[in-house]
Chain A
Amino acid sequence: MLKQTLFGISLILTTPLLFAASLENDESVGAKLIRTNCLGCHIPTDKGLSRISYQRKTPEGWEMTINRMRLMHGLTLNKGKLDIKGSGLHEIVKYLADNQGLSPNETRGVRYLLEQDLNQIETQFDDDFLTMCARCHSGARIALQRREPKEWNYLVDFHLGQFPSVEYSMFGRDRDWLGIARNKMVPLVSKKYPFTSEDWSSWLAAKKPELEGKWILSGHMPGKGYFSATMKVNQNNKDYYSLNIEGMYANGEAIKGTGSSVVYTGYDWRGNINFGDISLRQTLAASADGQTLTGRFYQKGQELVGMKITAIKDASTTQLLSVFPSHIKKGETTTLTITGLGLDVGSSLSLPANIVANKVVSQSANRIVVNVTAKDNAQIGYVDIQVGEAKLTNQLAIYKQIDALEVVPSYGVARVGNNGGSTPKTNALFRAVGIDYGKDGIANTEDDINLGYIEEVSWAVVPRDEIAKKDKDVKFAGQMNSHTGLFTPAAAGPNPERYRSTNNAGNLNIVAKLTENGNEISGTGRLLVTVQRWNNPPLK
């Protein structure tokens, strides 16, 4: 619990409010709540308030800060309301993210953390950063903050004060952790992630994109396959929207649902939407011109089960968004779905010479469904699709055979859960990407053709090593859905049936298989089934 000191209280009573003009005069609910709730501990300065006015963070970053003060330091908001709704938390986060957030450029490359796309290996950080910072949490969590040097230094004090084991655990006890943190890491992150940046100043001054309107989007829903849809976005208040979605999966099943969203910092979209009975969360970033939304939808409570999304805003011109499936085999016939804008207004579909359109099954403003055959003598490789003047470049692959399957993610983590505990299971989702080795028939050469997701694979898990085999990890760690690639881990807690009564952890390989030209093709990934995360902040 943070203590009130006499020193602090006297400052509050005697120092005139020296807020920066925006925070002092802003009449938004968030600014008022900051003035009402934060002065108990934060001291007015010439820039605003101590600590607060010297950092920039994402909405999730600000939320974590405020919730930490609520949970650990006794902060009560809005007369002590504990329920998040009505507490004022959202309004404070909104104000801070809008006025002290990160620009689109500043979140680029690390949005996977905001998108909760967690099953991946971070390779972009150097060794010092990895061992000092990213051995306990993601590197992206740091890269999504901007602070003045003094604030980075305070963060060192917080870490060691809150988590004293930092300097006793591995990569802490083998070095002068505190000295390195202060003298090496603080200067490093102060330079790399500075509070003041031209990029942020420009974004703050820029006109923000208008997002109300109709959006066309497509993606690949786990367990369902490709879909395309139209999302109508109606603005209720500035930055607050209601959503209506209608669409169709590739198998013809309809999609219908509603939702809502909030846009932070002028571009950073957080929403909820239902695809029928599937509840999804949305993390999207709007382009500066307001014509594109990119990001990820993921299942509420199962963040790893999700899909990349690209959406384009309705416009008077013809535009192409996607084609699926993203591959067609030489000599075979298939049905392609082409999505975009203005696809019905006198627009003619133009396919590559080696693909013959047998029949246009349906054509509407946003979707052309066409039955096609790839000629036997078609050249393999990526081809373009054109509708009117709009071109979709290299999104469709013509291939001879699937030579290999690549499992993505290549290394996934699932976590046991439930069984009377407070933490639910964390499922893991895998997909298979097809590879044609190209004309040279050799793997990992320039002419390899990425065929995109292959639906017709079967999934299984096998022991990764002899210990996993001996311990029967396949039997105990959980269940793989052989059709969808979704792995559901087993229950938490010690298992008396297991060797050493251990829990249902497992060290497994994921195997995707299909039969191609009479040959069995397989791809392998890794799955670690491990224990629960007890601390699950929005940014891990």
Chain B
Amino acid sequence: MNSNFYHTLFLSSIALLLTGCQSLNTKEQTTTPTVKVSEKEFLITITRPNTTLHLIDLQTNKVIRQCDLAAGPGPGTLVMSPDNSIAYILTNHFSDIYGVNIDNCDVVFSTQQSTDNIRVKSIASIAISPDGKEVYTHQNRVKMMNDHYEILPPQIAAFNTSAGLNVKASRTFDAPRQVATMDTLESGGLIMGGQDIFLMDMNSGKYEVILPSLNDEQPGYSAKDVLTVWQMGKVNNEYYRMYSRAKYNGKEGDLTNADYIWGHEIVNLKTGKAEAKDFGPLESVLFTSIRRPGQLNRVYGTLNDLKEYDSTTQKLIHSIDLPHTYYCINFSHDGSKIYLSGALDSIAVYDADTFDKLAHIKLTGDGSMSTSIIFKRQG
């Protein structure tokens, strides 16, 4: 029905809420990143409809391994074990997790989060403990009775990654509603990105706001709006998400004369320090952004364009049209190459300085709603 048209910052993005993407997976502080001689870079991603894992060698841009899980799709959010040998995939309609050995495609871990008459959905909220011993999810739960549903409070569930297949949660803690992306501090705390950014002590289950977001009531600005199921900060060892907001030029609340701006919320995974900062003008919709390794004031974003901002001056520096939509943006560890993914059956590689297209990696399935991670290890 053609009723009720709303005009907001994210008009065109609402239908795409559940598209997933996640970024680089190293624990290094990468202000001056280097790749060890013996290490190679890989990109890993998932395609529909069977939840097929694709492992790509980024020296050759070739798919070197495919693991078909024969599981239902969506969203395909990934985290990697600390040694980058196991990919943990949230899939099968936001419900199940599979741990896959990327060297031989063996499924070494699985959980079906829904149990008995309680159905569980995780909206791209998956994280792994720094020691790799536990995988965490945020669980939206509904109890399905004979003739009605009953919404249960959400919770954080911890799964023992060494427990094998069909694992049940070993621990659960009450959690705030509306949590999407998550990550862990090096010290073990769980970062939950919801209406605000929370930190949960995974021993006690206590949590607190470490960065107000929706509730950051800054005079002269609208509330922040965060649409994200993509955690884009691993290459810089940070929890990272993008927001938009309006900066009022006239009266408080006057959107007509306001400037619209992008910003990002960052939690340093080593120190736990949290900060929010505007980085540039909102001229067109972006779905993901990322800071350039080695030049952290340079922010790159994508959806239908590839854009570069200087967060120091909050100016747009460079922008090109893309041949089609890409939801996810990633960086090589040295900050020289940009990888665009998460839509249709291709991954595009761009030169971060010139925005020249360097390569085009063809996938055998549809990468929509999936995530991609770039990591390095001995190859």
Contacts and interface: CB of A to CB of B under 8 A. Distances in A.
> Do A and B form a real pair?
yes
Interface of A: 1-5, 8, 40-43, 50-51, 113, 118-122, 130, 134-135, 137-140, 154, 156-158, 160-162, 164-165, 167-174, 176-178, 409, 411-413, 494, 500-502, 528, 540
A2 B177 contact: no
B123 to A, nearest CB: 6
Given A4-B146, A157-B150, A411 B123 contact: no
B145 A173 contact: no
B147 A174 contact: no
Q: Top 6 nearest A-B pairs by Cβ distance?
A: A161-B142, A3-B117, A161-B149, A8-B146, A122-B3, A138-B1
A461 to B, nearest CB: 17
B223 A174 contact: yes
Given A2-B146, A3-B116, A164-B123, A412 B2 contact: yes
A11 B106 CA distance: 47
B144 A161 contact: yes
B323 A43 contact: no
Q: Is the interface of A mostly helix, strand, loop or mixed?
A: loop
Interface string B105-124: 00000000000110101010
Contacts of A134: 3-4
B149 A173 contact: no
B33 to A, nearest CB: 32
B138 to A, nearest CB: 11
Given A154-B149, A173-B227, A178 B142 contact: no
Contacts of A130: 4
Interface string B139-164: 01010111111110000000000000
B324 interface: yes
Given A2-B144, A42-B147, A500-B323, A165 B18 contact: yes
B3 A138 contact: yes
Interface string B1-27: 111111010100110011000000000
B321 interface: yes
Interface in B318-348: 321-325, 344
Given A164-B140, A174-B223, A41 B4 contact: no
Contacts of B304: 500
A540 B180 CA distance: 29
Given A139-B3, A173-B178, A161 B8 contact: no
B225 interface: yes
5 contacts: A8-B145, A43-B147, A130-B4, A162-B149, A501-B344
Given A2-B147, A5-B146, A120 B3 contact: yes
A139 B4 CA distance: 9
Nearest to A409: B2
Contacts of B1: 113, 118, 120, 122, 137-138, 140, 540
Of A119, A139, A158, which is in contact with the most chain B CB atoms at under 10 Å from its CB?
A158
A42 B116 CA distance: 19
A500 B6 CA distance: 25
A168 B17 contact: yes
A312 B227 CA distance: 54
A502 B148 CA distance: 41
Contacts of B140: 160, 164
A426 to B, nearest CB: 11
B120 to A, nearest CB: 9
Contacts of B226: 173
B165 interface: no
Given A118-B2, A165-B123, A157 B148 contact: yes
Contacts of A135: 4, 6
Contact of A500 (B8, B18, B117, B324): B324
Interface residues of B, number: 44
Contacts of B344: 494, 501
A212 to B, nearest CB: 35
Given A169-B17, A500-B323, A43 B2 contact: no
Nearest to A167: B178
A319 to B, nearest CB: 35
Given A121-B2, A121-B4, A167 B146 contact: no
A501 B324 contact: yes
B2 A500 contact: no
Interface in B74-122: 94, 116-117, 119, 121
A2 B119 CA distance: 10
Given A165-B18, A174-B214, A500-B304, A50 B147 contact: yes
Contacts of A42: 146-147
Nearest to B141: A161
A411 B151 CA distance: 38
B340 to A, nearest CB: 13
A1 B121 CA distance: 15
A477 to B, nearest CB: 16
A528 B177 CA distance: 35
B225 A174 contact: yes
A113 B180 CA distance: 35
A41 B147 contact: yes
B195 interface: yes
A5 B145 contact: yes
Contact of A154 (B148, B321, B323, B325): B148
A161 B2 contact: no
Contacts of B322: 500
Contact of A178 (B13, B151, B214, B225): B151
A420 to B, nearest CB: 15
A276 to B, nearest CB: 30
Contact of B2 (A137, A171, A413): A413
B181 to A, nearest CB: 11
Nearest to A179: B177
Contacts of A500: 304, 321-325
A130 B304 CA distance: 30
Given A157-B142, A157-B148, A494-B324, 17 more contacts: A3-B146, A42-B146, A43-B146, A118-B2, A121-B2, A134-B4, A154-B149, A157-B149, A160-B142, A161-B151, A164-B142, A170-B6, A178-B177, A500-B304, A500-B321, A500-B323, A540-B1
Interface in B187-246: 195, 214, 223, 225-227
A449 B18 CA distance: 50
Nearest to A120: B2
